[in-house]
Copies of this chain bind each other. A is one copy, B any other.
Amino acid sequence: MGVTIGRYLNDEFIGKRCLRMRKEGYLVEIRNVKGSDYYMISPLINEWWGGRQMSDMLPKLFFDHFKNTSFIAEIDGRIVGFIIGFLSQSELDAAYIHFVGVHPTYREQKIGKRLYQRFFNVVKQRNRNVVHAVTSPVNKASIAYHTKLGFDIEIGDREMDGVSVFSDYDGPTQDRVLFMKRLD
């Protein structure tokens, strides 16, 4: 799973606009994803993640087949965030969050929190009371963020910088931190 890290892009226009919006207040709208969002979001991902090659992790199928549990955050029709998740087919009480991103300029304004909250609400309506997510141990921002949102870290086979990890979870050398949150 990917959660964007806190890198600030040098985007003067958006910076100024954001400043203005902070002063004036602005409306973040959350809506379900549609297939064509893929073509907007896919090129943004590597940029939002500060140049890491992340877009391969989010092929088009997620935009075609998990629309009812995946959401876009927009300001004036411009995409500033997204959450892509689904209901587990195998674990009937569980849902899984695959990918979350917020435009670097619009971070720390609770857009991510609103996206997660929307996801939680929808999956609860579908009788899911557990949400899983997975991240990389190097993604400290993601670990801190999920912990703040009330996710527990599952106990893996070893610790790394004080965090329990599952060694080689996503293949050789691909250790992962597994999160689990119970919905009230």
Instruction: Tell whether, in the assembled complex, residue B65 and residue A89 are in contact, meaning their CB atoms are under 8 Å apart.
Output: yes
In the assembled complex, A48 has its CB within 8 A of some CB on chain B:
no
Query: How many copies of this protein are present in the complex?
Result: 2
A86 / chain B contacts, CB cutoff of 8 Å:
65, 89
Min CB gap A26→B, angstroms: 30
Min CB gap A129→B, angstroms: 16
Q: How far, in whole Å, are A67 and B69 apart by their CA atoms in the complex? A: 19
Smallest Cβ-Cβ distance to A176: which chain B residue: B60
Smallest Cβ-Cβ distance to A66: which chain B residue: B89
Instruction: Tell whether, in the assembled complex, residue B60 and residue A89 are in contact, meaning their CB atoms are under 8 Å apart.
Output: no
Q: How far, in whole Å, are A60 and B59 apart by their CA atoms in the complex? A: 15
Instruction: Tell whether, in the assembled complex, residue A171 and residue B55 are in contact, meaning their CB atoms are under 8 Å apart.
Output: yes
A43 / chain B contacts, CB cutoff of 8 Å:
171
A-B contact pairs, 22 of them (CB 8 A): A39-B168, A43-B171, A55-B171, A56-B57, A57-B59, A59-B170, A60-B134, A60-B169, A61-B98, A61-B134, A64-B91, A64-B96, A65-B86, A65-B89, A65-B96, A66-B89, A66-B90, A67-B89, A67-B90, A68-B89, A69-B89, A86-B89
Q: How far, in whole Å, are A96 and B59 apart by their CA atoms in the complex? A: 13
Smallest Cβ-Cβ distance to A1: which chain B residue: B61
In the assembled complex, A42 has its CB within 8 A of some CB on chain B:
yes
A88 / chain B contacts, CB cutoff of 8 Å:
64-65
Given known contacts A57-B59, A60-B169, A170-B60, A65 and B42 CB-to-CB distance under 8 angstroms: no
In the assembled complex, A177 has its CB within 8 A of some CB on chain B:
no
A100 / chain B contacts, CB cutoff of 8 Å:
none
In the assembled complex, A87 has its CB within 8 A of some CB on chain B:
yes
Instruction: Tell whether, in the assembled complex, residue B87 and residue A68 are in contact, meaning their CB atoms are under 8 Å apart.
Output: no
